[in-house]
Amino acid sequence: MDIANFKPAIVYTIYIASTPERVWQALTTAEFSRQYFSGFAIEAELKVGGAFIARAPDGSVHISGEVFECDPPRKLTITWNVNWPALVEKLGPTLVTYEIEQAGAAVKLTMLQSHDRDISDDILEGGRQGWPAILSSLKSVLETGKPLAIKMQPPQRMLAALNAMGIATPG
Partner 1 sequence: MSKPEFVYVTYIETTAEKLWEALTSSEFSKLYWFDTELRSDWKVGSPLALVMNGTTTTDTGKILEADRPRRLSYTFKHELREEMRNEQPSKVIFNLEPHGKFVKLTLTHEGFAEGSKVLDGISRGWPAILSGLKSLLETGKPLVIPPTCL
Contact residues for partner 1 (CB under 8 A)? 12-17, 101-106, 108, 121, 128-129, 132-133, 136-137, 139-140, 143-144, 146, 148-151
| Dihedral sign from CA coordinates of 131, 83, 92, 65 | positive
Q: Which is nearer to partner 1, 67 or 123 (CB)?
A: 123
14/46 with CB nearer partner 1? 14
Between 85 and 117, name the residue whose CB sits nearer to partner 1.
Answer: 117
* Cα distances (Å, whole numbers) of residue 130 to 50, 92, 115, 143, 169: 25, 19, 17, 20, 16
Tell me if 21 sits within 8 A of 73, measured CB to CB: yes
Rounded least distance, CB 51 to partner 1, Å = 30
CB-based contact 166:86 (threshold 8 Å): yes
Q: Which is nearer to partner 1, 59 or 149 (CB)?
A: 149
Nearest-approach distance from CB 157 to partner 1, in angstroms: 15
Q: How far is the CB of 111 from partner 1 (least distance, A)?
A: 11
Quick one: which of 20, 129, 126, 119 has its CA closest to 76? 20
In the complex, minimum distance from the CB of residue 64 to partner 1, in angstroms, rounded to a whole number = 26
Q: Which is nearer to partner 1, 42 or 134 (CB)?
A: 134
β 51-55/95-103 pair status: unpaired
Contact 34, 52 (CB under 8 A): no
The minimum distance between CB 129 and partner 1, in angstroms, equals 8
